[in-house]
Chains A and B, each alone.
Chain A
Amino acid sequence: MTDDATEAKIRLLIRVILGAGILSLIAEFFVHRHHEFAFSSFPGFYALVGFAAYCIIVLGAKAIRPLLKRPEDFYGE
């Protein structure tokens, strides 16, 4: 799975997603954006929320894991 051909495909996919992301940022200046609330009216708001929320969720879950983790047979059933 981690051979060179696969790695090249993965890199291509990442570039496509990155390219599309940048494109979506640029596209915002060409559409009439309806502003939901005052705090959400700056360009790139959704990109920021998407990126930040994702990181907070994943890293937050990772941070609380030591508190919640128990052996797989904890409940004995």
Chain B
Amino acid sequence: MVSELLLHPAMLLYLAAALVTIAPKAPARLLAVAAPLLALLMLWRLDDGMVLHFAGIDWEFFRADRLARIFGTIFLLAGSIGMLYAWAEDQRRIFAGGLAYCGSAVGATLAGDLPTLFLFWELTALASLPLLIHRHPDYGLSISALARYFAIQILSGVLLLFGLAERLAAGLDLDFNNIGLGVPGGLAILLAFGIKAAFPFLHNWVQDAYPRSGPAGTVLLSTFTTKLAIYALIRGYAGTEILITVGAVMTLFPIFFAVLENDLRRVLAYSLNNQLGFMVVGVGIGTPLALDGAAAHAFCHILYKSLLFMSMGAVLHRVGTTKATELGGLYSSMPWTARFCIIGSASISAVPFLSGFVSKSLILAAAIHEGHPVVWMALLFASAGVLDHSGIKVPFFAFFAHDSGKRVDEAPLPMLIAMGITAGACILIGVAPGLLYQLLPNQGSEFVPYTADHLVTQMQLLLFAGLAFIWLFRSGRYPDEIRAVHLDFDVTYRRWIPQSVLMLNAEGSRWGQKITALRQRGLSALLQNLSRHGDDTGVVGGTPAIGWMTAAFLLLAAVVGSLLT
């Protein structure tokens, strides 16, 4: 059993993660880049169907069908490139965390049953934490933010476990195949996936947490968790009709925030959310073409989104901020970073002969085939939005626009090489889409992206949206970049609910007395201890952090407890 386990790609990456923490620097860096590639080889060479037996359960650890393989492949490729990019920061925490995170995501895609999925689902949350322990020049290190992120990830795991228990109680099997909404546990598991896929109102953790990490940290974060959720939705909820609506709302809702947001890496986090919407629509439509579209779009999206995060990470690395108000005119300092950023921007905007065009087309075509005119219009509308925030805003305000006067060095070589490889992949897939289509679960359903008709209409859409930008910007109608917070749904749990609790907590009230008594009974010592470690916001910031973590663990304990009894 042990020798079999060593042949699992995830285990190889865990082993590598352990080694990079102790090996000398030079071999550690090489290992970090090589390990995901070695795991990729294993993924394609190993036979299907590794089952392990422990704790009284058969764990199906290795189901490598076409769907699992395409997601595993892109996770491992992006993991290797991300590790190369991380050479510039050269921190063991990122190498180890990144490898373990990548391994957990791959482990989850290969899980053949729900208990194994749950195991890796939680390990993904845990392994991503080291990437978020980062002292950001603008945001510092906020323990509260870290706790919010972790609590929400754990909540997703708890829901998954709850759904699993409901299935068990109803006498259903625990294989991870199509689940659907009509069975016990169906809703809980959908919500578990929905949290990590950033469904509307469950989405804020992405924009809250991702921009706080360092350059390489955010690149890695943007790759795994959300696309793992898309994989899980394709596997479990293909053809679940409500997802068409959910996905369409997801493509639209974040656009407006992306237009207003000042931090360009947070703009990219909103843009990531909008891209997930396209994939969720594909899952909801559920035909072979639509599911291929969702998988293809996830594949391409990981590449161009990491490329965009890499370019903005390079800006953060050199300038120390990615706030649009502080940037502009960086083209002369960082011309290669700017060029790579533009390739990423054009790819996400679905410019023909780049990757986004050949994957998004599958989803749009499926919406037409299945007769969804409203959804199709929403996706076209959202495509114009993508051109604005990721296609124009990010490169324009960073590298051009008004010169900020900042003069810095070009990005370090490892960052440039990582960006170059990723940009090359975006172009390759755009020029030779067959390379990607042959990997898809249904081999692209014989879709032909390059017809004269399709090229002309797409160019019309992009060029006239671009002309709209020119008109709005030149006439002074384009909204200024300003240093501000724009309230999103997270104001409920970051402000309104805690404030209501504080009001209940006010001195004199019965609730207040009870809470004070509880606090004095030992929590205060723990609180002071925690607030002393790295949290700039002190005890005030530490209190909600403890609350969040306690809530998360209580939930987990409650569900585990109910399972055991």
A interface list, Cβ under 8 A from B: 1, 14, 17-18, 20-21, 24-25, 27-28, 31-34, 36-37, 39, 44-62, 64-65, 67-72, 74-77
Does B385 lie at the interface of the complex (its beta carbon under 8 Å from any beta carbon of A)? yes
User: Are A50 and B470 in contact, with the CB atoms below 8 A?
Assistant: no
Does B517 lie at the interface of the complex (its beta carbon under 8 Å from any beta carbon of A)? no
Known interface pairs A59-B477, A74-B485; A47-B463 also in contact (CB < 8 Å):
yes
Q: Which of A33, A65, A71, A75 contacts B479 (CB 8 A)?
A: A65
Q: Within the assembled complex, what's the spacing in Å between the Cα atoms of A42 and B145?
A: 50
User: Are A47 and B453 in contact, with the CB atoms below 8 A?
Assistant: no
User: Are B460 and A25 in contact, with the CB atoms below 8 A?
Assistant: yes
Known interface pairs A54-B465, A77-B139; A31-B479 also in contact (CB < 8 Å):
no
Does B408 lie at the interface of the complex (its beta carbon under 8 Å from any beta carbon of A)? no
Q: Which of B373, B376, B457, B469 contacts A54 (CB 8 A)?
A: B469
Q: Within the assembled complex, what's the spacing in Å between the Cα atoms of A46 and B453?
A: 11
Q: Which of B401, B403, B460, B472 contacts A46 (CB 8 A)?
A: B460
Q: Which of B140, B400, B464, B482 contacts A50 (CB 8 A)?
A: B464
A-B pairs with beta carbons under 8 Å apart, 19 shown:
A1-B328, A1-B403, A18-B467, A24-B463, A39-B373, A49-B381, A50-B460, A50-B461, A50-B462, A54-B384, A54-B464, A54-B468, A57-B388, A58-B479, A69-B485, A70-B485, A70-B487, A72-B484, A77-B541
Closest to A49 in B: B380
User: Are B456 and A50 in contact, with the CB atoms below 8 A?
Assistant: no
> In which size bucket is the chain B interface?
35 or more
Closest to B387 in A: A54
User: Are B457 and A20 in contact, with the CB atoms below 8 A?
Assistant: no
Does B501 lie at the interface of the complex (its beta carbon under 8 Å from any beta carbon of A)? no
Q: Which of A21, A65, A72 contacts B483 (CB 8 A)?
A: A72
User: Are A32 and B259 in contact, with the CB atoms below 8 A?
Assistant: no
Q: Determine the chain B residues whose CB is within 8 A of the CB of A51 once the complex forms.
A: 464-465, 467-468
Q: Determine the chain B residues whose CB is within 8 A of the CB of A34 once the complex forms.
A: 451, 453
Closest to A77 in B: B142
Q: Within the assembled complex, what's the spacing in Å between the Cα atoms of A37 and B468?
A: 25
Q: Which of A25, A28, A70 contacts B484 (CB 8 A)?
A: A70
Q: Within the assembled complex, what's the spacing in Å between the Cα atoms of A56 and B479?
A: 13
User: Are B402 and A58 in contact, with the CB atoms below 8 A?
Assistant: no
User: Are A68 and B486 in contact, with the CB atoms below 8 A?
Assistant: yes
Known interface pairs A53-B465, A55-B468, A77-B142; A70-B456 also in contact (CB < 8 Å):
no
Known interface pairs A54-B387, A58-B478; A37-B463 also in contact (CB < 8 Å):
no
Q: Within the assembled complex, what's the spacing in Å between the Cα atoms of A77 and B212?
A: 11
B544 CB, nearest partner CB in chain A, Å: 10
Q: Determine the chain A residues whose CB is within 8 A of the CB of B470 once the complex forms.
A: 14, 17
Q: Determine the chain A residues whose CB is within 8 A of the CB of B464 once the complex forms.
A: 21, 46-48, 50-51, 54
Does B466 lie at the interface of the complex (its beta carbon under 8 Å from any beta carbon of A)? yes
User: Are B456 and A24 in contact, with the CB atoms below 8 A?
Assistant: yes
Q: Which 6 residue pairs across A and B have the least CB separation, nearest first? A: A53-B384, A54-B468, A61-B259, A50-B464, A50-B465, A46-B460
Proximity string of chain B (381-406) to chain A, C-beta cutoff 8 Å, 1 when within and 0 when not:
10111011000000000001111000
Closest to A69 in B: B484
Q: Within the assembled complex, what's the spacing in Å between the Cα atoms of A29 and B385?
A: 27
B interface list, Cβ under 8 A from A: 139-140, 142, 144-145, 255-257, 259-260, 328-329, 368, 373, 376-377, 380-381, 383-385, 387-388, 400-403, 451-453, 456-470, 472, 477-479, 482-488, 494-495, 536-537, 540-541
Closest to B462 in A: A50
Known interface pairs A24-B459, A51-B467; A1-B255 also in contact (CB < 8 Å):
no
Known interface pairs A21-B464, A28-B460, A47-B464; A57-B487 also in contact (CB < 8 Å):
no
Q: Within the assembled complex, what's the spacing in Å between the Cα atoms of A34 and B457?
A: 10
Q: Within the assembled complex, what's the spacing in Å between the Cα atoms of A21 and B403?
A: 29
Q: Within the assembled complex, what's the spacing in Å between the Cα atoms of A34 and B451?
A: 10
User: Are B460 and A57 in contact, with the CB atoms below 8 A?
Assistant: no
B264 CB, nearest partner CB in chain A, Å: 15
Known interface pairs A55-B472, A58-B472; A50-B260 also in contact (CB < 8 Å):
no
User: Are A31 and B456 in contact, with the CB atoms below 8 A?
Assistant: yes
Q: Which of A37, A55, A61, A70 contacts B376 (CB 8 A)?
A: A37
User: Are A68 and B487 in contact, with the CB atoms below 8 A?
Assistant: yes
Q: Within the assembled complex, what's the spacing in Å between the Cα atoms of A52 and B467?
A: 11
Closest to A44 in B: B460
User: Are A61 and B485 in contact, with the CB atoms below 8 A?
Assistant: no
Closest to A64 in B: B256
Q: Within the assembled complex, what's the spacing in Å between the Cα atoms of A28 and B467?
A: 18
Closest to B376 in A: A36
B493 CB, nearest partner CB in chain A, Å: 11
Closest to A51 in B: B464
Q: Determine the chain A residues whose CB is within 8 A of the CB of B495 once the complex forms.
A: 75
Q: Which of B457, B466, B486 contacts A65 (CB 8 A)?
A: B486
Q: Which of B462, B465, B470 has the most CB of A within 10 A?
A: B465
User: Are A46 and B461 in contact, with the CB atoms below 8 A?
Assistant: yes
Known interface pairs A54-B387, A61-B260, A72-B484; A21-B452 also in contact (CB < 8 Å):
no
Q: Determine the chain A residues whose CB is within 8 A of the CB of B485 once the complex forms.
A: 69-72, 74-75
User: Are A50 and B463 in contact, with the CB atoms below 8 A?
Assistant: yes
Q: Determine the chain B residues whose CB is within 8 A of the CB of A72 once the complex forms.
A: 483-485
Closest to A56 in B: B381
Known interface pairs A34-B453, A60-B256; A53-B486 also in contact (CB < 8 Å):
no
Q: Which of A17, A24, A70, A76 contacts B460 (CB 8 A)?
A: A24
Q: Which of B257, B456, B463, B472 contacts A17 (CB 8 A)?
A: B463
Known interface pairs A18-B467, A71-B485; A27-B537 also in contact (CB < 8 Å):
no
Q: Within the assembled complex, what's the spacing in Å between the Cα atoms of A11 and B536?
A: 48
Q: Within the assembled complex, what's the spacing in Å between the Cα atoms of A2 and B274?
A: 34
